[in-house]
Structure 1
Amino acid sequence: MKAVEFHLPQDVDKSFIVFRETGDFFPAPWHYHAHYEFVMVNKSTGRRMVGDHIGYFEEDDLVFMGSLLPHVWVNDPLYLERRAPEQADALVIHFTDDFLGEDFMTIPEIDDFRKVLKLADRGMALRGETRERINALIRAMPAQNGLQRLSSLMLIFDIMSSTMEFDLLASPRFVQNFHYDSSDRFKKITGYIMQNFDQDISLAEIASVGNMGVTAFCNFFKEQFRVTFVEYLTTVRIGHACKLLSEHDRNVVEVAYECGFNNLANFNRQFKKLKNMTPSDYRKTLIIR
């Protein structure tokens, strides 16, 4: 079974990713990515495979995994057959080792946590009081503002730095022998989007950047990024809009057009869909803070 490389969309105004995975079952296939990852299960049961380790997950299960470690969460048949009384639900955190700058992980204060990152190459299943404390922090993060969310992550790092309440998952042999296919295609596509998101980008245009036809590109993008190209582009544009709105020297119409939206109505609709408020209301929350 070949692992698929994943690339999750990230707002340009955030340094790391926190998202909720919810549905009849967890859809992700056997995959890996460059990010470190926490997976905390709120609801659902099933088997999780981390490297060459297979274990059972249930409510409150918490696993921390290193960069490039293949993994998959497979729900029990009750969920896969849509017979469960509730939806599968998990909270996930993704971050890279340079998410706060290239030198962040080299500062003295991170010495103990760097050792944890090394252990995470094999995957760590947390247990006991450590799991309870970290789960409480993770559950609060979706509703927090940027600085609060970052503070919660730092507290998680601190707890991880001193705990012995964990089990290592994948074998050392698996970690040493696993090879992945890294392609410049991902960097070319995301780089092009970041440089041109304020312009119209056609599917034919972006597909050519990846040296693919339109149909192949659409399938490839959805498989790798877990969202469509249009959804990803919209996320990037709205993230940039949040940055511009915080600067208070542009009106909403100017922000919309500077982010690549051709009309204000569509900008307002997409902004509210992603942020659960209008651009004007978002700006008011910044003033209040």
Structure 2
Amino acid sequence: MKPELIDRSTHLSRSFNIDEHCYPHFLKVWHYHPEIELISIVNSSGTKFIGDGIKKFQPDDLILIGENVPHLWLNDPVYFQGSSELEAKALVIHFDRNFAGADFFQMPEMRALNDLLNRARHGIEFHGEIKAEIKRRLREMLQMDDFERVMALINVLKLLSATEEYEKLCSPGFINAFQKGENKRMDNVYEYIVNNFKDEISLNEIAGLTNMNKSSFCRYFRKIHNKTLTLYINEFRVGYACKLLLEEQLNISEICFESGFKNISNFNRQFKEITGLSPRNYKKKYATII
């Protein structure tokens, strides 16, 4: 199923909104929106779908989701029982990337915050002590006036930009686009991969885009991404395959070739190594849920 666009424009009476949501269960809709979302789970459990990243969620989880990244918070089955008295509660901020002005995050002083928002396009889950600190600050923001909230949000983003205790949840291939800005030297490489991942990838051409020889480029790429170029491309292709599997428009054989794999056996092997499931089991487990 394709994700549903949720229009929050009628809810944005300010430059950004912060709310404490409390429902019997979270909205059971695979959706996206142009606003960036910061969510601190207060009391709830289930499975979170952030792009093609699928993990359990629980109280105290802290997630930053970039603009237009499809996502779903699916509560455990007990939340949907008629006799359930459980609550799904979360502190949530929705804000436009340009809430402080079109060029605000382009200032040199805001470089770290801009990098954070770029990383959020893959979905970020934070770990460690920062989760409790951010939850405390979000609660305080509920009682602030408009000016104080703007300053508080910038400070929250500053804290998040400084921590190294996080993981990205969504693979680049899921949305079939690389985001520029994290490493300008590699922009041409990312653009080449996104335009050619369905075909044979030429290491010579990729290395040439950075004016390096093949050996130097491979070392440089591994230093940046902590993985080989081959694994990176396979993860991109598998991420794109996950997107197609969830949309249920093509059969598995068609998805194999549409994602850049040349034969089914290699597709199945790479898919299972990266996701832990075969394509068929992935589709069976998740497509019907979304």
Q: Does the alignment reach a TM-score above 0.5?
A: yes
* 1:51 alignment partner in structure 2: 51
**Following TM superposition, by how much is the alpha carbon of 1:161 offset from its aligned partner in structure 2, in angstroms?**
1.7
Alignment of 1:1-289 (within 5 A): 1-10=1-10, 14-176=14-176
- The alpha-carbon distance between structure 1 residues 35 and 28, as it changes in their structure 2 partners (threshold 3 A), is farther
- The alpha-carbon distance between structure 1 residues 107 and 72, as it changes in their structure 2 partners (threshold 3 A), is same
Distance 2:158 2:113 in 1: 7
- The alpha-carbon distance between structure 1 residues 10 and 101, as it changes in their structure 2 partners (threshold 3 A), is farther
Distance 1:92 1:48 in 2: 15
Match of 1:73, SS state, is: strand
Letter in 1 for 2:96: T
**Following TM superposition, by how much is the alpha carbon of 1:63 offset from its aligned partner in structure 2, in angstroms?**
0.5
CA contact (8 A) 1:10 1:16 kept: no
CA contact (8 A) 2:91 2:135 kept: no
Distance 1:36 1:147 in 2: 20
Q: How high is the TM-score relative to the length of structure 1?
A: 0.58
Structure 1 segments of 4+ aligned residues over 3 angstroms from their partners: 9-13, 82-86
Paired positions, count: 179
Distance 1:161 1:112 in 2: 6
Distance 1:160 1:45 in 2: 23
Match of 1:173, SS state, is: coil
Match of 1:174, SS state, is: coil
Letter in 2 for 1:91: L
Task: Give per-residue Cα distances to partners, 1:79-127, cap 9 Å, x unaligned.
Answer: 1114444311111111111111111121122101111111111100011
Q: How high is the TM-score relative to the length of structure 2?
A: 0.58
- Root-mean-square deviation (CA, aligned residues, Å) is 1.9
**Following TM superposition, by how much is the alpha carbon of 1:21 offset from its aligned partner in structure 2, in angstroms?**
2.1
Match of 2:170, SS state, is: coil
**Following TM superposition, by how much is the alpha carbon of 1:143 offset from its aligned partner in structure 2, in angstroms?**
2.0
CA contact (8 A) 1:47 1:74 kept: yes
* 1:245 alignment partner in structure 2: none
Letter in 1 for 2:170: A
Distance 1:173 1:4 in 2: 19
- The alpha-carbon distance between structure 1 residues 84 and 100, as it changes in their structure 2 partners (threshold 3 A), is same
CA contact (8 A) 2:38 2:92 kept: yes
Distance 1:68 1:12 in 2: 17
- The alpha-carbon distance between structure 1 residues 138 and 12, as it changes in their structure 2 partners (threshold 3 A), is closer
Q: Which has the higher contact order (CA 8 A, sep 6+)?
A: 1
Letter in 2 for 1:172: P
Segments of 5+ residues of structure 2 without an aligned counterpart are 177-239, 245-290
Match of 2:175, SS state, is: helix
